[in-house]
Each structure stands twice: as C-alpha cells, then as structure tokens.
Amino acid sequence: MQLVCPAGNLPALQAAIDAGADAVYAGFRDQTNARAFPGLNFSDDELRDGIAYAHQRGRQVYLALNTYPDSARLPQWYAAVDKAAEFGCDAIIAAEMAVLDYATRTHPALKRHLSVQGSATTAPALRYAHERFGISRAVLPRVLSIQQVERLCEGSPVPLEVFAFGSLCIMVEGRCQLSSYVTGASPNRHGVCSPASFVRWEEHDDGRRSVRLNQVLMDRFEPREPAGYPTVCKGRFEVGGEVFHALEEPTSLNTLELLPRLAQAGVAALKIEGRQRGVAYVGSVTRTWRDALDRYRASPQDWAAQPRWQSALSKHAEGHQTTLGPYHRSWH
C-alpha cells in the first residue's frame, strides 16, 4: 500500500518525503483546492521545486483541485489543470465533472484521481467516474465501515485510497453546507470550512472563553479547558435540554489497527489528513505510518499495532483522542 501524505507548503512536502511518504498531495494558493487557508499552499515556483524534490527521490506529487467552480470561474480551474500537466504532477485529485472532463480531454496522460469530495461510495458511482473521466484511482469518503470498504474493493473498477489518519470530517465530504449556512463561505465553492476571518474569541471575566463563528456561539470553555478550532460539527450545543458535542467531539481518525485488513482488502493507498498542520505533525505521522507499513510488508503474519506507534499518533490527534470512526459499526 502506498502512503500518501499532506503537504501544506514546501517545508511540509520535504518533511513528508524525507519521512518516507510514497506520494504527497498539495494545492495552489487559491480557491482551487479544499484547504484555501491564508499562509498555506504553493506558488507556481514552490510547486515546481516540490515536484523536483519528490521526483529526485522517486516519489510522487498529486495536485488537489478538489473544489467546485461555478460557470464564471471555470477558466481558473482549467488553468490549474494545465499547470499540473506542465509542471509534471503525477496526478490531479478532483471531484468536479467539468474539471475532470477538461483534464481528460486536454491532458489525457495526466492521471486523474477522484477526490473524496466526489462522494463516491458505491461501485456504480465509481463506474461512472471511471467511464466518464477515466480515473485511475478514487479516494473513498469517510463514511464506510471496514466491511463496506472490503466489499467495495472487490467491486470497484479502479484502485481505492482510504483515509488512514487525521482530523475527522464526520459529514459526507463534498456535501456539507454547515459552514456556508453560517458564514456564506463554503468548502465546496471557496475551499474553506469555518474561515478564520469569521471566528471570534471572547475572554470573560471569570476566565472562561467563548468562540463565535459569524456571531453564532459555537462553544464556551472553562478556564483551563483545551479549546479546539470552531467548526460547526465540533461545537457544543443544546439538544433535548442537554449541552454536549451533539455532532462530534474533537477527535481524530486513526485506522492503524485496521492496517492488515485494509491491505488484505486490496486498498491501494492510505491517506494522511492534515495539510493545515505543521512540519512536526507531517514528519512524525509519516514516519510512524512508514514504519508500520514497512513492518507489515516485511512480515504480515507477525504484525501488530505497536504501542509506540499509537502513542506517537495520539500526540498529534485532536483533543489527544482517536477513533475508528465510521470504519467501526458501533460509532454513533
């Protein structure tokens, strides 16, 4: 199985490659990708440098073009596809039909991976993307149980990539409008979820803190309580007279213990989430998964998730908690 790691910027790309990533995924510094945060992503020159760095070491670079342009902005996405081909990216990761179709017709040799934002969860959906756009890989949304992933591996016309570790989007990717409902800016259209410009922290006299997203209270924290980033899905709200994380606790997905099943199912690649995270995260998480994968490859029969791996990964998890999430049927 290939290890695909996040590269939010050039130092992160180099850290991921140095730590043993088989491929990294990156985005341009604009709304053509789903992590259009200030201070993140690549200029043209940085991407060229990054590709050279990876290719010199025999690794690959995928370019995320995984947002949904409206009609007026399509030329900007098409230009990004052109650049991906010109710079020698190994694949683009896209979900939007016009972008995929343009790439198919204009640069047939440039590989196309169906992005997680494409929300393809079944063999017919994968067949559509394969027949229409000749995709050579699809990234599965984080909604399927391990049994469903295994079944889909059997029926898919293309190799599959699954999320292995990182912050957990609990909604079907590419189909969540919670951020735009509150702020007007959306993951699909603008590549942002809960943009920082809408976030406001308030310190209270008693040491408590409140956090608002465009004036709407997302959560309130006790004086020494750790506070996470205020996405709508990880806020605390009142339902039926009780206040709790009604949608999800701040926690990270960690599928390390499922590694043998994913390998046996024929999953082609494991994806690490976190282009918005720093170099330390990328280096450490990549190194840990590299070690786990190498040991599995060397001796699949003896493989077991080692405590030191889990402890290294927990350090980088949101709220220091990890979950098998939807891979596990009892997740609720």
Residue 208 binding other proteins, by CB under 8 A: no
Residue 223 binding other proteins, by CB under 8 A: no
Determine whether the annotation assigns residue 233 to a binding site: yes
The residues, any chain, with a CB within 8 Å of residue 168's CB and separated by 6 or more, are 142, 248, 251, 252, 253, 318, 323, 325
Six token digits for residue 74: 């399509």
The residues, any chain, with a CB within 8 Å of residue 75's CB and separated by 6 or more, are none
Query: Which of 2, 180, 284, 310 is close enough to bind other proteins by CB under 8 A?
Result: 180
State the binding string over 263-302 for other proteins (x if CB under 8 A, else -): ----------------------------------------
Distances (CA, A) of 327 to 60, 144, 311, 331: 28, 6, 21, 8
Helix axes 74-87, 44-56, angle to 10 degrees: 30
Query: Which of 199, 237, 278, 312 is close enough to bind other proteins by CB under 8 A?
Result: 237
Query: Which of 18, 46, 49, 248 is close enough to bind other proteins by CB under 8 A?
Result: 248
Nearer to other proteins, 117 or 286 (CB): 117
The residues, any chain, with a CB within 8 Å of residue 171's CB and separated by 6 or more, are 178, 233
- Restricted to residues 137-166, the positions that interact with other proteins (CB under 8 A) are 142-145, 148, 151
CB of 316 to other proteins, least distance (A): 23
The residues, any chain, with a CB within 8 Å of residue 106's CB and separated by 6 or more, are 78, 81, 82, 85
Residue 250 binding other proteins, by CB under 8 A: no
Task: For 258-285, give the DSSP string.
Answer: GHHHHHHHT--EEEE--TTS-HHHHHHH
Query: Which of 216, 226, 304, 321 is close enough to bind other proteins by CB under 8 A?
Result: 216
Determine whether the annotation assigns residue 153 to a binding site: no
The 3-state DSSP class for residue 323 equals strand
Distance CA 190, CA 67 (A): 7
- Restricted to residues 49-108, the positions that interact with other proteins (CB under 8 A) are 68-72, 74, 95-98, 101-102
> Which region, judged by CB under 8 A, interacts with other proteins, from 79-87, 128-136, 253-261, 295-303?
128-136
Task: For 190-209, give the DSSP string.
Answer: HS-SS-GGGEEEEE-TTS-E
Nearer to other proteins, 32 or 288 (CB): 32
Query: Which of 239, 298, 301, 302 is close enough to bind other proteins by CB under 8 A?
Result: 239
The residues, any chain, with a CB within 8 Å of residue 224's CB and separated by 6 or more, are none
CB of 53 to other proteins, least distance (A): 34
Q: Provide φ and ψ at 303, rounded to 5°.
A: -70, 135
Query: Which of 171, 259, 262, 270 is close enough to bind other proteins by CB under 8 A?
Result: 171
Query: Which of 240, 298, 302, 307 is close enough to bind other proteins by CB under 8 A?
Result: 240
> Which region, judged by CB under 8 A, interacts with other proteins, from 178-186, 253-261, 278-286, 307-315?
178-186
> Which region, judged by CB under 8 A, interacts with other proteins, from 52-60, 83-91, 207-215, 293-301?
207-215
Which residues are known binding-site members for [4Fe-4S] cluster? Answer: 169, 176, 193, 233
